[in-house]
Chains A and B, each alone.
Chain A
Amino acid sequence: MPTADPAIQLNRVSRHYTMGETSVRAVNELSLSVANNEFLALLGSSGSGKSTLLNLIAGLDRPTSGSIFAHGQNIASLNSLDLARYRCNTIGMIFQSFNLLPRMTLEENIELPLRLAEVDRSERPARVREALERVRLTHRLGHRPTELSGGEQQRVAIARALVNRPKILLADEPTGNLDSATGEAILTLLRELRTQLGMTIVMVTHEHPLAEQFADRLAIMGDGKLLSTTTAKGLPQ
C-alpha cells in the first residue's frame, strides 16, 4: 500500500516542442505527486501528453521547465551520465511493443541491464534466474523473443525491467499489444511484484477498466495538463 513519502514529485513540469513555427505543449505546467509503493495509472486520449510525461519521469527526455524529483533527486538537473545511471539503477521500464532485442536469448536480454550497471559477472546468472522466476518463465531461458507469445514477451520485458531491482517501474501501454486475458494476467503480475518488491508503478494506458481494476489511483490527462486524479475502485481484497 502507498506510503505518505512521495516517490515521484513533479512541480509545474512543462515539455514544449517546436514543430516548424508552432510550439506544441505536450506537457504543460503539470504538477503531480506519486507516493512510494503506489500504482498510478495515467489515462487520457491520444496526444494528451501521458507518454511524454512518462519519458520525463524515466529520464529519457528533459523538461522544458519545472522540476522532477524521484526519491528526492531532481532528475531535471542531472547531467547526461548521471541521468543514464538514474535510468539504470532507479527506473525499470516496459513498453507496449516489448522492445526485446530479437538477436539475443531471453537470458541475454535480461542480463543487459546488469551489464550496463556493471554488476559482477558471477552474480548475474542468479539475478537473471531470479527475475525469470518472478515472471514464471525459467523454462524459456535459452529461447529467443520471437519464439515466445506476446504475453510471454511482455513477461520477459518485465523481468528485464526488474533485474536491477528498481524503485520505480514505468509501463508504457503494457497491455496494448495483448488480448484482454493476457493483459489482465500481466497487470496481475505487476500488482504482485509491486507488493513483493515494494516498487512504485506508473502505467500509461488507454484501458480505463483495467486501470480501474488494478491501479491504486487514476490520473486523467488532457492537452498536456492533469485534468483529475481519482482513487481507483481496486481489486477486491
Chain B
Amino acid sequence: MKPRDLADLAFRNLRESILRNALTTLGVAVGVASLVAMLSLGVGLQQLASKRLSQSGLFDTILVTPKNAFRGIGRPQREPESDKPPRVLDDDARKEMEKLPNVIEVYPQVRFFTEVRFNNKPFATVVAGMPDSSRNSGSFDGMQGNFFSSTTANEAILQIEFAKDLSDKPSSLIGQELVLRYAERQSLPSAAAGTEATANPPDSSGGGFSVVPKELRLKIVGIVETEPAAGYGGYGNARLLMPLATASTLRAAQVNDLRDIVRDSNSGKTTFASLSVRAKTPSQVDALETSIKKMGFNAFSLLDASKSLRTFFTVFDSLLGIFGCLALAVATLGIVNTLVMAILERRREIGVLKALGAADSDVQQLFFLEAGVMGFFGGVFGVLFGWLLGRAVTFGTNVYLQRQNLNPIELSSVPLWLVFSALIFAILVSLAAGLYPASRAAKLNPVDALRYE
C-alpha cells in the first residue's frame, strides 16, 4: 500500500475509536510531560547555577600569587622549588598579564579588617575593594540603591546583615554617610632604601612602614543581599564594599603586610600580595593559568570545581530523566494494551483486508503507524504539558521567593533540543510499543480472522 493510503487508513482507524485512542495518547502525553518537566527543571537549575557562578567571576578568574606567598589551608600544594629566585608580583608582572590573550582585566585584591563608625558607634567589619566589572556579576542584581557612581567615588555598598547591624531600617541608610577608620601605611626612611623594598602597594620604601590611623567619609549608595566579595582568595567575607580604586588609594594596612616585610622582598617596586586575572570565558582559564604559571607565579582557579558541577548536573539530569522515563514506560504499556485490544476488535477487518490482497507488511505498517501517530501526538502534547508544568513550578517558586523578599528565578528551561528529543523519544518508544501488536496483527491467519465473530 502507498504511504498516503496507509496514513489515511491509520488516521481513520484512530478517529473511529477516538475516546480510547485519545486516552492512550493522553497517557503518552503524561509520560512525556513528566519527562520534559523533570528535565526542564534539571536544565533550568543547571543554567541558573552556571549563570550565577559564571557571573560571580569564580570560574573565569585566576588568583595569582607570588611563589613565596603564604599558602593557607586548603590551597594547592606548592610546586617544587626551582633554583630560579621567585618572581615578584609587581606592576610589571601585572602589565605583562594584562597583555596575555583573552584577559579582560587584572586587579589586586584589596581587603582589610577595620572599624566603621556610624552615629558615633563603632562597628568592626571587613572592607573590600570591588572592581568596576563586578557591576555585571549578578551579585548586585536586585540590590537596594545603586552601584558606585564612579570608579573613584567615596561611596560604600553595605551587605544587608551589616546594614541591619547599623540600623533597624536598613533601607533608610541609603544616602547617609559613615566613617571608615583604617590604618594607613606610611613608609619609613631606611638606609637600605631602594634595595629592600616592601611588598605592599602602593608605597614602596626600604625596610618598613609605620601605621597611621586615618578616616574617610563614605556615602552609602546601596545595600546588597548577597556577599559579592565572598570569593576565594579573600580573607573572610567583606560586608562593606567600596570602589577598588578608592580602596587602593587608602594604602590601608592589610593582613599580609607584616608577612611580606619580614620576608626578603627586594624588587624596589610596587608589589602585590595577589592579583585577580579575569579571562573572557571560563573555557580560556586553563590556558591562561598555564601561561601565568610559566611566568613564574602561582595560579589557581576554580575550574575544576566547575567541571565537578557539570558532572553533578549530568548525573542529576540522568536521575530526573529516569523518573520521567518511568511514567513513559507506563504509557508505553497503555499503547501495547490499546493496540492489542484493537487487534481483537478488528480481527475480522484484518481478515477482510488480507482477503482483499493486503500483505502482512501492509497490516504491520498500519498498526505501526497508528502507534507512531499516537506517539507523535502524545509527544507534542507532552512537551506542551511539560513546559506548562515547568512554568507552573517556576511561578509557584517565584511567588514563594517574592514573599520571602527574594529575587525571582527562572527555574525551568525547555531548550529546543529537549523539545525535539522528547518528541523523537515519544515516537520511538511508541513505535517500539507497537512492534508486538503490529507483528501479531500481521501474522493473523486470514481464514481464522474471517471466521471470527
Give the B-binding residues of A (Cβ under 8 A): 55, 58, 60-61, 80-81, 84-85, 87-89, 91, 93, 95, 99, 101, 103-104, 112-113, 115-118, 121, 160, 164
Contacts and interface: CB of A to CB of B under 8 A. Distances in A.
A80 B356 CA distance: 14
Contacts of B354: 60, 84, 87
A61 B447 contact: yes
A164 B357 CA distance: 10
A90 to B, nearest CB: 9
Nearest to A61: B447
A116 B356 contact: yes
B357 A117 contact: yes
B355 A60 contact: yes
Given A60-B450, A89-B357, 19 more contacts: A55-B447, A60-B446, A61-B446, A80-B359, A84-B354, A84-B362, A87-B355, A87-B356, A93-B356, A99-B351, A99-B352, A99-B355, A101-B349, A101-B352, A115-B1, A115-B8, A116-B353, A116-B358, A160-B356
Nearest to A99: B352
Interface string B322-338: 00000000000000000
A94 to B, nearest CB: 10
Contacts, number: 66
Interface string B203-225: 00000000000000000000000
Nearest to B356: A113
B446 to A, nearest CB: 5
B362 A60 contact: no
Nearest to A103: B16
A62 to B, nearest CB: 10
Contacts of B357: 84-85, 87-89, 91, 113, 116-117, 164
Contacts of B351: 99
Given A115-B5, A116-B1, A99 B450 contact: yes
13 contacts: A60-B446, A84-B358, A84-B360, A87-B354, A88-B358, A99-B351, A99-B355, A101-B349, A104-B12, A113-B357, A115-B8, A117-B357, A118-B5
A196 B12 CA distance: 35
B402 interface: no
A117 B151 CA distance: 82
Contact of A95 (B353, B362, B450): B450
Interface string B1-23: 11011001100100010000000
Nearest to A170: B355
B361 interface: yes
Interface string B125-141: 00000000000000000
Nearest to B360: A80
Contacts of A93: 355-356
A103 B12 contact: yes
Interface residues of B, number: 25
A81 B5 CA distance: 18
Query: Which of B16, B348, B447 has the most A CB atoms < 10 Å from its CB?
Result: B447
Contacts of B360: 80-81, 84
Contacts of B450: 60, 95, 99
A200 B446 CA distance: 23
Contact of B356 (A61, A88, A103, A104): A88
Contacts of A81: 359-361
Contacts of B349: 101
A38 B2 CA distance: 34
B380 to A, nearest CB: 26
Contacts of A88: 356-358
A79 to B, nearest CB: 10
A84 B349 CA distance: 16
Contacts of A118: 1-2, 5
Interface string B342-370: 00000011011111111111100000000
A103 B345 CA distance: 13
B355 to A, nearest CB: 5
Most buried by B among A91, A104, A112, A164: A112
Contacts of A85: 357, 359
Interface in B425-450: 446-447, 450
Contacts of A60: 354-355, 446-447, 450
Contacts of B348: 99
A85 B362 CA distance: 12
Nearest to B359: A84
Interface string B374-407: 0000000000000000000000000000000000
Contacts of A160: 356
A121 B16 CA distance: 23
Nearest to A55: B447
A19 B322 CA distance: 48
Contacts of B447: 55, 60-61
A113 to B, nearest CB: 5
A58 B447 CA distance: 10
Residue of A60, A85, A91, A104 most packed against chain B (CB within 10 A): A60
Contacts of A91: 357
Contacts of A104: 12
A34 to B, nearest CB: 19
A60 to B, nearest CB: 5
Contacts of B5: 115, 118
A7 to B, nearest CB: 18
A99 B362 CA distance: 19
